[in-house]
Structures are given as C-alpha cells and as structure tokens.
Amino acid sequence: MATIELTKDNFNETLNDNDFVLIDFWASWCGPCKMFGPVFDRASEKHTDLVFAKVDTEAQQELAASFEIQSIPTLMVVRDKTVIYAQPGALPEEALEDLIRQARELDMDKVREEIAKQQGDGAQPQG
C-alpha cells in the first residue's frame, strides 16, 4: 500500500479502520525529514499489510498540535487505536525495520492491561 496523507478529516477514520498504522510527522523544509522520507517509503513498500501515513505539520498544524509534536520528524506507531511508540528523530532503515518487528510482536492485550493499570493507579485516591 502506498503511503497515505493524513489530515484532520481522515485521521480518526484511518486509525479506526486499521489495526496497525505508522505515522510520519514531517515538513517540507525539514532536512532530517527529507532524509527519513525515502526510508519510510521503502518500508511501506516492504510491509504492505501495514498502513503508512504522513502528516504534513505545516498543512495540519491542528493535528500536529493535538499530538504535541514539537520536533520533526516524529514517528508514531499506533496499534489497535493505542499509541505504542512516539519518538522524534530520523531512524536509519535497520532501526525502522527493528521497530516494526518489535511492534508486530507486542501482545496488545498486555499493553492495554498495563495502560489500564497505570491509569487506574493515577486515579486512585491516596490514604
């Protein structure tokens, strides 16, 4: 599947309709973004069962702000509507492949359990 352009209009639909989405937050003036772009595109051609998407932070400032993107490129990995990875920086091809492998191997039931536990711990009154 080719890389798709995410906007505030198709963002929720894309995440709701797909179990595994990699999102590249980028801008045309960003040097590291230009270096990471081809790496991201090659991975999208290799992993056709995953959705690869890009958010142009200049055109989609509202979307970038909602994720508190402060540094680009930022790569975000979303599985089952849960953000499991979000880090700024251009990854080399080997590192991106390793990240995809690790994300595929994650037990999402355990991830959701851990998130619920963390949210529960924060919500419990002390004393």
pLDDT band for position 41 (50/70/90)?
Answer: very high
Task: Give the closest residue to 69 by CA, choosing from 53, 81, 86, 47.
Answer: 86
Evaluate the CA torsion angle 37, 40, 46, 52 in order and state its sign: negative
Catalytic status, residue 94: no
Position 83 pLDDT exceeds 80? yes
Quote the pTM value.
0.88
**Does residue 72 carry a pLDDT above 70?**
yes
Indicate whether 127 pLDDT > 50: no
Statement: 4-123 belongs to CATH 3.30.1490.20:
no
Per-residue pLDDT, 39: 96
HEC sequence for 20-83: EEEEEEECCCCHHHHHHHHHHHHHHHHCCCCEEEEEECCCCHHHHHHCCCCCCCEEEEEECCEE
Structure confidence at residue 58 as a pLDDT band (50, 70, 90): very high
Binned at pLDDT 50, 70 and 90, residue 120 comes out as confident
Q: What is the pLDDT of residue 1?
A: 57
Dihedral in degrees, nearest 10, Cα atoms 86, 61, 50, 98: -30
Which of 6, 33, 43, 63 is catalytic? The answer is: 33
At residue 74, does pLDDT exceed 60? yes
Q: Could you state, in order of their start, the residue ranges of all structural domains in the chain?
A: 4-123
- The verdict on whether 30 is a catalytic residue reads yes
pLDDT digits (tens, 9 = 90+) for 13-25: 999 999 999 999 9
Residue 57 has pLDDT above 80, yes or no: yes
Selected catalytic residue, list 15, 21, 22, 30: 30
